[in-house]
Structure 1
Amino acid sequence: MVNTSNGRRRLGAAVLGAALAITLAACSGGSSSGAGTTTAGSAGASGSADAATGTIKVVAATNVWGDVVKQIGGDHVEVTSIISDPNADPHSFQSSPRNQLALSSAQLIVENGGGYDDFMQTMVSSANSKAPVITAVDASGVTPQDGELNEHVWYDLPGTIKVADAIAAELATIDPANASTFQANSATFDQAVNDLVTQAEAIKSAHAGAPVAITEPVPVYLLATAGLKNVTPAEFSEAIESETDVPATVMDETLKLFSGQQVKLLAYNEQTTGPQTEQVLEAATSNGIPTVPVTETLPDGQDYLSWMKSNIQALSQALGG
């Protein structure tokens, strides 16, 4: 989300409270994971594949990055995704002893960064982990726009390619014997994502500049790749993501997007709904504006590639092809 203050701090606080309730041996000697960086060749568990299983133990903040790791590492990785329930609101996530244990033995950690999962730093430190950390926001190369960073970088297809390449490089450092496999899998994944970019750009060719509305900035990168223009009042999406009341004048302005047929579709985050987002969804539906649900984590039965493909297809269908 663009505004990383209130909503995400609540997420961090919830996980922090759970993490601090867990007592691990030698936790007091832990060091920071160095969030915002990619640290290669760290000592300890990160040095090689697990001797017992022959696999690299990886912990990802969400199942989105967990799936990308799996596509790059294949049978050579064992992935634990901390946030993985497709029916849960990621903002109210609670950690568990299982998560902390996984972090304590991780050989690679993939976090999102950008304020989305600040709880990872506390959990990694509490687990006394020395594993290298890949921060997706940094690896993706995205930059703030108008002073604000949209941390939902998994919706940025070119950025996701860069994250996948960073994962492949780190896995190769940990397990050099399988470096060629990681590189080949990364190349295959990159090509598949580039094919998705082509599909999104086909929407741009047919509907460049088409005005659209959102409830939160979750899909904004994908909308931009598809050449669509978000015309939602910034104050609306900022209030929704920070879980504060939308000012009456802003709500009125937002609702007029639908009653006045000013937008071609509404892309809404179906994982974090509330009275105000439901009011907007109702306004779109009652005025015949197509709606496109998006999520922050992988839906059941989908991997990253099929998920993004379905999102692109939904946008195309909503716009009439």
Structure 2
Amino acid sequence: MRVLIVEDEPVIQKGLVKMVQRYPASFSAIYTADDGEAAFETIRNLEPHLVLTDMDGLELCERIHREFSHVQVVVISGYNDFQYAQRAMAYGVKRYLLKPVTQQDVHDTLKELISGMTGSIIPVQKYVEWAHQLEQSIWLLQRDETIRIIEEGERSGLFDGLNVINMEAVLSDCLGMITERLESRGWKPRSGCRGTQGSSNTKKEVMTAFTACMDRILEELQLTRKGNFKDPIEEAKAFIDQHLSEDITLEEVAKRVGLARTYFSALFKKMTGETFVHYRIKKRMEEARRLLAVPTLTITDIAVKVGYEDYPHFTKTFKNFVGVSPSEYRSSFGIE
């Protein structure tokens, strides 16, 4: 296995080389480069399996992803910023380590990339998804669900590879993402939640402080709304009911109520007891039954009004749902 270390500071570069050399598994070659151009030239000529870069900036990552997507990239960065990390992940970066990095961090990362085992690294996408779940439960004022998500993050080992300082940093970034998403919805929390950084001695204290912060944001949001909050599921149902003749998608409805597609789908099923598709079919058939009692409307017209351009498909769906065909149902009103 060939490794390339990219670092413009000679002392740090030598330190990273030594860290890699001390890894129990031997490497066929360890190359070094002082800047992005030299690094890319090495990649082009020697094609290392892994690039370990301590550079600020994502140009190299983007070029590698574009031209040598099979090369694995690990970024060591002082950017304690999840937007930066998300961009790195978009360019195919496999792992993102925060400074100061230790030999154990490097060895754990190498171990994972080589053997598939997990180590003391930051699984960026998992933290992003976790933060988004928290933000959505906060926005819906679901305190129990918020606590459940926090506890699930702990149980799943999301923070197992972090020390107290790094865990505080990660949770601070998660808070930043949560705040940013809430602001994009038109509400900015004023609760001060950053005062606990550096004051915790254990990971349990860090998580307790973070949970208290989420609680304060929830309480502030609840007080701000003062009962004026629109339930997203009721809003979604109303939108579906008003657009039965249109072929609206799950994605469209989720976007309208400000929720992620997968979360909205699961929440809709949980709150209504039925899927989005089944609910829409049910409402269409209920509307069709109402319209079939109107003598001046043809069955073809009714099919179109409830979103079915394909008449045979409408007939089949109606019979499956009601038990009789549209014409049979209409006949029960004495309408021919």
After TM superposition, the score normalised by the length of structure 1 is 0.25
Structure 2-normalised TM-score?
0.24
Instruction: Name the structure, 1 or 2, with higher relative contact order (CA <8 Å, separation 6+).
Output: 1
Larger radius of gyration: 2
Answer 1 or 2: which has greater helix percent. 2
